[in-house]
Amino acid sequence: MLKNLAYGVAIVTLSSAVSGQEKVGSLTDVTGVWIMLIEGHQVGLELEQKETTVQGVMLVMGQRQLLTGTYVERTLTLKGEKAEDGAGGPHGSPNAGPIVAQMLDDGTLEGELSTNRGRTKWTGERLRKR
C-alpha cells in the first residue's frame, strides 16, 4: 500500500510535466494512470479495462477509493466500492453518484462527479508511459 501511495504522490508531481504535451492513448481503452482536474485539485486515477468492465483506484487526499464500472462507446461510468470496514470515500459515501465521462477525440476525458458541494465537472489526462 505504501508503494501505491508513493506512486499516487508521484502522479500529482508528474502531472505538471504532462500538460502541454500531445495526448496519447487509445480511444477504445481507458487502461492507464490518469490525472483528474476537479475544481482546481489534481486527483490520481488508475484504471484497468477488460472488455467493457473497468476497475480502478482513485487517490484523493491520501485516501484510496476503489471503483468499478464500464467503458462503452467512449463513455466511462464508475461508482465507488465500499471499503472492507464499510467506510465511504474521502468525500463521503461511494454511492453519492456515479463518476461519468466521455472520451474526447484528443484522448482526454471530460465528465461529472459528485462532491460534497454537489455535481461538478472534471477533466482527465492520461499519463504517458516512459
What is the grid cell recorded at 86? 464499510
What is the grid cell recorded at 7? 506512486
What pLDDT score was predicted for residue 5? 41
Query: Domain total for the chain?
Result: 1
What pLDDT score was predicted for residue 60? 85
93: CATH: 2.40.128
What pLDDT score was predicted for residue 16? 40
Please report, in tens digits, the pLDDT of each residue of the chain (130 residues total).
Answer: 434 444 444 444 344 434 444 455 789 999 999 999 999 999 999 999 999 999 999 998 889 999 999 999 999 999 998 655 555 555 444 446 799 999 999 999 999 998 878 899 999 999 987 6
Query: What pTM value is reported for the model?
Result: 0.73
Q: Which residues span the domain enclosing 97?
A: 2-126
